Structure 1
Amino acid sequence: MHPAQVVASAFAFTILVGTALLMLPNARVGPDSATFMEALFTATSAVCVTGLTVVDTATYWTPFGQIVILALIQVGGFGIMTFASVIGLAVVRKLSLRSRINAAAEAKSVGLEDVKGLVVGVVKISLIIEAAVAVLLTIRFLFGYGEPFGRAVWLGVFHSVSSFNNAGFALFSDNMISYATDPWICLPICAAIILGGLGFPVIMQLRKHLRTPLKWTMNTRIVVAGTIVLLVFGSVYITALEWNNPNTLGPMDWQGKLLAGFFQSVQTRTAGFNSIDIGQMDSASLLGMDVLMLIGAGPAGTAGGIKITTFAVLFFILWAEVRGDVAVNVFGKRLSRAVHRQAITIVLLAVAVVITATAALMVMTDISLDALLFEAISAFGTVGLSTGITAGLPPAGQVILILLMFIGRLGPITFASALALRERRSTYELPKERPIIG
């Protein structure tokens, strides 16, 4: 099998296992088991670290069901091939060539030289960051809100894993609205989301060369710079538009407005927590968040979207074309033409998938375009923010969101490669000719 097919099959198999576990009678509160669609949607959302839900995570699932969801989030955040490689290293102390190829394909690695180091690094970074954030949240829930020790630990661990993996699942019926103005809850969650969104290669390099930016690769520079720019832009944009909205930021004091605006900007990095009611936000705010969610965060991490690097490559291609440059140069390096084609392919596939899904949802419902587009982009970008319409969609609409989450987690190119019957290699080239452009 092609590595892309292996990765896609592994994710699909894990989703089916999660679905079966969530359909067990002791996974749901009450006498009945969860329906197949409820279990499938929740398992897909957890494995694809999205956060969209059709039932209330806090009240619908038992502690066993919530543990299953947490495990699916963690495995999905690691990556199925990465998780399998960790098991292989623990059992036989080495990775086979096939395991390294599959893990490299999943992690978007450019070579096989240090796949073992990447796999081990992913696990170490994840556990260290999740543990640190879990401790901070546990302390706050314990002493700030008087939660019993066991409950405080569970809340801390669950939301730490959910935030670092950019999943957005919460154990509160109103998600994070009750803690919208509490920096001791919101800021640790934001920190975990931002770190998870940077991508594991970037975190590994920053750990070694944080104070020597000249040693950063082009990927690290683009991701760091892009993250800062998009976070600032998103915070200003959302806060300004929602400042006087009586249903969102309006009732808060200015400190609370700034915190909530920043928190929602961070969530567009592909984490689905919300500290304000998304369904009550202005349409202009939703449109801006659509753009931010589609861009997403860094590659080779827990985030979704087309990725900051893809968006940056398109920007630099545009900038070079407008200036009349022969080559596209980024941070003192020339960009490979193969990267041009890959970036354009990803964006066109992403736009095609989102538009097709939105059109299909419009045909089967009477819901407004802005809400359906927001939901589709949120699913494709594995974000998980919702205007509140997901649970009310017909089963066919929920299946569309499931497919969007699956494609978004794998990546459009990986998904397309997995569908290909064989890898085509041309042994000849045709003569060149160009049409009129523009």
Structure 2
Amino acid sequence: MSSPLQPTALTWANAVPRFLQWSRDFVDALAATSPARLAIVVFALVIALFTTLLSLPIASASGEYTPLHDALFTATSAVCVTGLTVVSTATHWSFFGQVVIIVGIFMGGLGILTLASVLSLAVSKRLGVRGKLRAQEAMNIQNVGRLGEVGTLLRIVITTSVAIEALLALALAPRFLVLGEPFGRAIWHGVFYAISAFNSAGFTPHSDGLVPYETDLWVLIPLLVGAIIGSLGFPVLMVLIVYRGRVRKWNLHTKLTVVVSAILLVLGTVGWGAMEWNNRATIGGMSLWDKLIHSFFASAMTRSTGFNLVDQNQLEAPTMLLTDALMFAGGGSASTAGGIKVTTIAVMFLAIVAEARGDRDIRAFGRRIPESTMRVAISVVVLGATLVSVATGLLLAISGEPMDRVLFDSISAFATVGLSTGLAAELPPEGKYVLSALMFAGRVGTITLATALSLRQRNQLYHYPEERPIIG
């Protein structure tokens, strides 16, 4: 005689394989029909998971539940590698909560398309042609590896990330140990800063941030190295690993990223330093050497990571405007940095130069840039400006704060930088939801749009008659 529990057991036993099969079919279908949509779904699910974990009592130092708006904001900031905070990372979260944050940063730093490709491999055990094309587009590996090597290259991306973060942690942990921190805490802080720096997150496990280390090169240099390497992006890193100093073998994307990043780094250092040189609230009272360190550090962190050595509220108005521009520019494509990306800026500038010269083609380093790339660049810039404008308008209505503070934090959220005037922590829940949405859109929106447009080319059977409207 059968037990009444047997049907239930059989039902559950059948439900698990069916759910796994449904998951595989769902991922395969989504990857085949809309890779961009799969990327968005993956990122949204990851954020939802980390929001749930951070809401638990075990995640807070007080042992109490964290409000949904604070947990969602922190999870979004971590997974979108932003670094904006509404509660103190050091005092509000327990060790478990900090571990959740750092794991979210690591996963988010891989990028939405890489993460989607890894999910496809994990769930369906294969990528398929469309999935491989998606991963190839995410890593720009056309000149580095063949399509069949995408799975191997994905593993290389993850291995490279772990290796760089491990080296940074090995450089940072001894310094914290020398400064008197217990062994376990020094190791943890080294690991935390290493992952946060390389993934351009800007989270700090110390309640007073980096202020105690503002002249400590043993701490600042590893953070700078991690931030600059992370802001270049995996496509550039893979080319540099394969070809090293043989510049002639670098692809166009690598050349544009390195050159424009270097230009913005130098211009940012000179501009930031010149504007703050006599501001005694920031660097005005420091020595020449310390002023140069602060200027270089600010220029590097403004475009990607968001670590700061001075109070952003004390910056001069021109410096805040320069910071807004650098944050909006961002780092390299498919990198841990945000913004509209340096290659977008390069393409737009080259188009202006070509138009001024009367050239029909947009050229750089002996290569012609397709018109479709120009259209994608314009779309990314317009989308970014629109997102920031809408969010700024909403936050102005919600908070009633001055435009400079609201615009600063809005651009920082969109560009996933993490610098803040402190506005985020002062906002009511609805304001935090707006910034959370902006962080998500900034991390997902422009990359997904660019990928979706570049992978969606259709042949036209006819063309309309050409007619030029008046421009300017």
Which of 66, 75, 96 does residue 64 from structure 1 map onto? Answer: 96
The structural deviation recorded for 1:396 is: 1.9
**Which amino acid counterpart does residue 52 of structure 1 have in structure 2?**
L
The structural deviation recorded for 1:104 is: 4.3
The structural deviation recorded for 1:81 is: 5.1
Output the aligned Cα RMSD: 2.3
Kept after mapping to 2: 8 A contact 1:10/1:81: no
Farther-moved stretch of structure 1 (191-200 vs 172-181) = 172-181
Counterpart CA distance in 1 for 2:59 and 2:399 is 31
Counterpart CA distance in 2 for 1:135 and 1:410 is 32
Kept after mapping to 1: 8 A contact 2:283/2:291: yes
CA deviations over 1:322-359 (Å, ceiling 9, x no partner): 11112111111111111111111111111111111112
| Structure 1: segments with no counterpart, 5+ residues | none
The structural deviation recorded for 1:236 is: 1.1
User: What is the match of residue 41 of structure 1?
Assistant: 73
Structure 2 vs 1, CA of residues 320 and 99 (structure 1 numbering), >3 Å: closer, same or farther? closer
The structural deviation recorded for 1:411 is: 3.3
The structural deviation recorded for 1:11 is: 0.3
Is 1:191 the counterpart of 2:256? The answer is no
Kept after mapping to 2: 8 A contact 1:167/1:383: yes
CA deviations over 1:255-306 (Å, ceiling 9, x no partner): 2111111111111122111111111111111100111111101101111110
User: What is the match of residue 12 of structure 1?
Assistant: 44
Structure 2 vs 1, CA of residues 256 and 417 (structure 1 numbering), >3 Å: closer, same or farther? closer
**Which amino acid counterpart does residue 323 of structure 1 have in structure 2?**
R
The structural deviation recorded for 1:78 is: 1.2
User: What is the match of residue 174 of structure 2?
Assistant: 139
**Which amino acid counterpart does residue 222 of structure 2 have in structure 1?**
P
Kept after mapping to 1: 8 A contact 2:410/2:438: yes
What TM-score does the superposition give when structure 2 sets the normalisation length? 0.87
User: What is the match of residue 244 of structure 2?
Assistant: 210
CA deviations over 1:178-227 (Å, ceiling 9, x no partner): 11111110111010000000011111111122221111111111011111
Kept after mapping to 1: 8 A contact 2:198/2:229: yes
The structural deviation recorded for 1:39 is: 0.4
Q: Report which of the two structures shows the higher radius of gyration computed on alpha carbons.
A: 2
Which of 44, 51, 55 does residue 83 from structure 2 map onto? Answer: 51
Farther-moved stretch of structure 1 (256-265 vs 194-203) = 256-265
Is 1:170 the counterpart of 2:204? The answer is yes
Which of 250, 255, 261 does residue 221 from structure 1 map onto? Answer: 255
User: What is the match of residue 277 of structure 1?
Assistant: 311
Counterpart CA distance in 2 for 1:21 and 1:96 is 33
The structural deviation recorded for 1:153 is: 0.5
Counterpart CA distance in 2 for 1:95 and 1:416 is 21
**Which amino acid counterpart does residue 434 of structure 2 have in structure 1?**
I
CA deviations over 1:154-188 (Å, ceiling 9, x no partner): 00000000000000000112221111111110111
User: What is the match of residue 8 of structure 2?
Assistant: none
Q: How high is the sequence identity, in percent, across the aligned residues?
A: 47
Structure 2 vs 1, CA of residues 341 and 85 (structure 1 numbering), >3 Å: closer, same or farther? closer
Structure 2 vs 1, CA of residues 398 and 273 (structure 1 numbering), >3 Å: closer, same or farther? same
Kept after mapping to 2: 8 A contact 1:5/1:417: no
SS in 1 for 2:332: coil
Structure 2 vs 1, CA of residues 86 and 348 (structure 1 numbering), >3 Å: closer, same or farther? closer
Matches within 5 A, 1:9-408: 9-80=41-112, 82-83=114-115, 85-86=117-118, 95-97=127-129, 99-104=131-136, 106-107=138-139, 112-143=147-178, 145-408=179-442
Structure 2 vs 1, CA of residues 283 and 79 (structure 1 numbering), >3 Å: closer, same or farther? same
Farther-moved stretch of structure 1 (289-298 vs 121-130) = 121-130
The structural deviation recorded for 1:94 is: 5.4
Q: How many residues align?
A: 435
Structure 2 vs 1, CA of residues 88 and 335 (structure 1 numbering), >3 Å: closer, same or farther? closer
The structural deviation recorded for 1:416 is: 9.1
SS in 1 for 2:61: coil
Counterpart CA distance in 2 for 1:13 and 1:424 is 31
Counterpart CA distance in 2 for 1:334 and 1:153 is 49
Kept after mapping to 2: 8 A contact 1:27/1:65: yes
Counterpart CA distance in 2 for 1:349 and 1:240 is 32
Counterpart CA distance in 2 for 1:210 and 1:31 is 50
Structure 2 vs 1, CA of residues 328 and 106 (structure 1 numbering), >3 Å: closer, same or farther? closer
Which of 407, 412, 424 does residue 446 from structure 2 map onto? Answer: 412
Counterpart CA distance in 1 for 2:67 and 2:373 is 44
Kept after mapping to 2: 8 A contact 1:56/1:173: yes
Kept after mapping to 1: 8 A contact 2:224/2:297: yes
Counterpart CA distance in 2 for 1:335 and 1:37 is 44
Counterpart CA distance in 2 for 1:98 and 1:331 is 30
**Which amino acid counterpart does residue 360 of structure 1 have in structure 2?**
L
Kept after mapping to 1: 8 A contact 2:306/2:419: yes
Counterpart CA distance in 1 for 2:183 and 2:341 is 39
Kept after mapping to 2: 8 A contact 1:376/1:401: yes
Structure 2 vs 1, CA of residues 17 and 109 (structure 1 numbering), >3 Å: closer, same or farther? farther
Counterpart CA distance in 2 for 1:80 and 1:310 is 19
SS in 2 for 1:411: helix
Counterpart CA distance in 1 for 2:295 and 2:400 is 30
What TM-score does the superposition give when structure 1 sets the normalisation length? 0.93
Counterpart CA distance in 1 for 2:202 and 2:424 is 15
SS in 1 for 2:90: helix
SS in 2 for 1:246: coil
**Which amino acid counterpart does residue 128 of structure 1 have in structure 2?**
A
The structural deviation recorded for 1:125 is: 1.5
The structural deviation recorded for 1:428 is: 4.2
Kept after mapping to 1: 8 A contact 2:132/2:150: yes
Counterpart CA distance in 1 for 2:74 and 2:471 is 45
| Structure 2: segments with no counterpart, 5+ residues | 1-29
Kept after mapping to 1: 8 A contact 2:176/2:190: yes
The structural deviation recorded for 1:429 is: 3.1
SS in 2 for 1:279: helix
Counterpart CA distance in 2 for 1:416 and 1:342 is 6
